[in-house]
Structure formats: C-alpha cells, structure tokens
C-alpha cells in the first residue's frame, strides 16, 4: 500500500498544474461528461484514437515534404502533430483530475506518455498502479511486457505478456507483440521457456497465424505472418513453403495499394522458389514486374530461374505405371 500511495502521489503532482487551466475548445465536450466516469474515459479514448490518426498523417506528410526539400512546410506538419498529441495528453489529464484511480485512464495516459513524450518512468508507474487497481486489466500487462522486453528484462516482460494473453487470449495485438519478441530475442525466450530454437519458432508461427485469423481484414497482420516464414532460417527450421505462398496470397487480397500488391507478388515468387516450384515462381515475379516493370529485385529473381521450357520441346513423360495383368 505504501508503494501504491507513492505512485498515486506522483501522478497527482503531475496533474496539479493542469487543474487551473481552461480546457481547449477541442476538449470542451469532456466537461459535459465529468459526472459520468465510464463515459468520460470512453470519450477521451475516442478523441485519442481520432487525433492519433490525424497526427500520424501529419507526420507522414512531414516526411514526404522533407524528402521533397520543403523543410518549412514539413516543420509545420510536425508542429501540428505535436499539438494534437498535446491535446490527447490534456484529455487524459482532465479525466484523471476527476477520477485519479481509474485504471483504464491510467493505462491510456501511460501509453501517451511512453509513446509520444518519452516519459517512460511515469508511464510504467501508471501501468503498475492500473494493475493494482484492476488485476484483470490486460492492456496494462501488455504494455509492461513491451517495456520490460524492450529494456532487456525478459523474464519480467514475458511474465507480463503471459498474464495479458491469459486474460485476453484472442487479442491480436498482444499476440503480435509476443511474436516479435519470440522472433527477435529467441535466446532469452529459450532460457525462459526452456525450449529449443525450433519450438520457439513453431510457437511464434502458431501465434502469428492466430493473430492474422483473428483480424482477417488487417493487412499488416497478414503481411507479418507471411513474412515470418522467412525467419525460419534463424531457427534451423523447415517451414511449409506452400503455406507461405498461401499467406502471401492472402496478404495480396488485403493489399491497400500497388506497392503492397507488388511486394506480395514478389515474395510469393520467392517462396515458390524455395518450394522448388519455378514455374509458379516465374508467374508471380512476372506479375510483380507488371506493377513495377524496372524493379531490380524482381529482375534479379527472374534471371536466376532456369530457362523456361517451351511446350514443343518438353520431354515426353514415360508412363512408369506397371500394366495390369490380363
């Protein structure tokens, strides 16, 4: 209880400076919900999701403008993104003024502090307190799993991941996070699980496939599952390359633009090569070249295939079946 009180005190001090400030116009609607705790938290979360999308769009535009040499315009886009992230932070601080022990608000607030402001220690304290207040709040466990694995404390991180998935086994985001840790930090996972490399890989692929199925319209999850077949070489594992081809076909169905379709065709070609199916590989790579006719990657793959045999010159197949006895 002492630790809990200290964490609450720290968060209270952080919010004190906001208490006398007038809410920006964009957040005025939150005042009408101040007596309705759950609705207030939901409204702040909805605002967060919408403004995060807008802020990330600004950041993407800033990147494109900077690459085009339009530095001043890029800075304006970055400035607008920072303003939107600041509004999100203010929204949660307003919620926590009225409900300082709301575990969901603490969890969301910690995500903003961690991802957008680099205030890692305060974010971790918020998630720890959220778990104390609600031991079944899976999102806080997931966030702590990400944090502790990121800083190299894999035992703690994997324990938090285990708790998150135990509480919400069908959350594709949690599964995705665990898969990334399994595939990139497998020696630590081996020590924690006492598994060999192949078992780590097989389990990661099982979770990756499940995540893609749980969110069947999510291109990024489908693409990640398909890409993870290539990681088999790091684990001395032998994947089913036909399954990999099907995964790339699914990713292509969900592709949002020509670049993603090109990538899916090209990678399906790669896995057909690994499966020894050169005719199918050639067909996929040729489809990729229709999208990007001068792609060096596609041209190199195509040039590495054996020459195509024309129908007229195909060797006659001998029927080796033993004839039936009369």
Find where tokens 């116009």 sit.
25
Q: How far is it, in rounded angstroms, from Cα 222 to Cα 217?
A: 8
Please tell me the predicted confidence (pLDDT) of residue 95: 97
HSE (side-chain half, CA atoms, 13 Å) at 278: 9
Q: How far is it, in rounded angstroms, from Cα 103 to Cα 7?
A: 13
Whether 313 is in a domain gets the answer no
Q: What is the DSSP string of 160-195?
A: HHHHHHHH-TT-HHHHHHHHHHHHHSHHHHHHHHT-
Whether 326 is in a domain gets the answer no
Please tell me the predicted confidence (pLDDT) of residue 11: 56
Q: How far is it, in rounded angstroms, from Cα 204 to Cα 224?
A: 12
Whether 181 is in a domain gets the answer no
Whether 213 is in a domain gets the answer no
Whether 278 is in a domain gets the answer no
Paired tokens of 14: 């952080």
C-alpha torsion 118→119→120→121, nearest 10: 160
Helix (H) or strand (E) holding 123: helix 120-133
HSE (side-chain half, CA atoms, 13 Å) at 295: 18
Give the model confidence (pLDDT) of 79-122 as tens digits: 999 999 999 999 999 999 999 999 999 999 999 999 999 999 99
Whether 317 is in a domain gets the answer no
129: Cβ contacts below 8 Å, ≥ 6 apart: 4, 7, 8, 11, 103, 106
Whether 67 is in a domain gets the answer yes
Please tell me the predicted confidence (pLDDT) of residue 309: 54
Please tell me the predicted confidence (pLDDT) of residue 307: 81
Please tell me the predicted confidence (pLDDT) of residue 16: 47
Paired tokens of 199: 């078992």
Q: Which residues of the chain have pLDDT under 50?
A: 1-7, 9, 16-20, 310-326
Structural domain total, the chain: 1
205 close to 173: Cβ distance less than 8 angstroms: no
How many angstroms from the chain centroid is the CA of residue 283?
31
Paired tokens of 214: 């749980």
Q: How far is it, in rounded angstroms, from Cα 140 to Cα 99?
A: 18
Whether 58 is in a domain gets the answer yes
135 close to 113: Cβ distance less than 8 angstroms: no
HSE (side-chain half, CA atoms, 13 Å) at 44: 33
Please tell me the predicted confidence (pLDDT) of residue 76: 96
Enter the pTM of the model.
Answer: 0.84
Phi, psi of 168 (to 5 degrees): -140, 75
187 close to 235: Cβ distance less than 8 angstroms: no
Full domain range(s) for residue 5: 1-133
Rounded (5°) CA angle 211-215-216: 110
Please tell me the predicted confidence (pLDDT) of residue 21: 54
Paired tokens of 99: 């409900």
């Amino acid at each position: 209880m002492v630790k809990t009180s200290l964490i609450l005190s720290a968060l209270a001090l952080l919010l004190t400076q906001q208490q006398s400030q007038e809410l920006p116009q964009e957040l005025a609607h939150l005042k009408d919900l101040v007596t309705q705790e759950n609705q207030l938290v939901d409204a702040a979360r909805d605002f967060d999701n919408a403004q995060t999308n807008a802020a990330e769009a600004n950041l993407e535009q800033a990147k494109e403008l900077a690459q085009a040499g339009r530095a001043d315009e890029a800075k304006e886009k970055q400035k607008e993104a920072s303003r939107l992230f600041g509004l999100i932070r203010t929204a949660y601080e307003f919620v926590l003024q009225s409900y300082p022990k709301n575990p969901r608000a603490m969890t969301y607030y910690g995500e903003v502090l961690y991802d957008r402001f680099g205030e890692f220690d305060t974010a971790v304290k918020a998630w720890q307190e959220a778990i104390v207040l609600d031991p079944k709040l899976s999102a806080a466990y997931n966030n702590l799993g990400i944090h502790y694995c990121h800083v190299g404390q894999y035992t703690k991180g994997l324990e938090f991941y285990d708790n998150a998935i135990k509480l919400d086994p069908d959350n594709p985001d949690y599964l995705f996070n665990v898969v990334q840790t399994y595939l990139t930090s497998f020696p630590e996972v081996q020590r924690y699980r006492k598994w060999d490399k192949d078992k780590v890989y097989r389990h990661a692929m099982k979770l990756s496939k499940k995540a893609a199925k749980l969110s069947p319209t999510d291109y990024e999850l489908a693409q990640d599952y398909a890409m993870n077949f290539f990681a088999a070489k790091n684990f001395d594992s032998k994947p089913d390359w036909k399954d990999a081809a099907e995964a790339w076909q699914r990713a292509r169905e969900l592709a949002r633009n020509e670049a993603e379709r090109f990538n899916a065709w090209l990678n399906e070609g790669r896995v057909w090569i690994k499966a020894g199916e050169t005719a199918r590989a050639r067909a996929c790579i040729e489809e990729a070249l229709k999208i990007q006719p001068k792609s060096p990657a596609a041209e190199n793959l195509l040039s590495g295939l054996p020459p195509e045999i024309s129908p007229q010159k195909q060797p006659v197949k001998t029927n080796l079946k033993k004839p039936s006895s009369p």
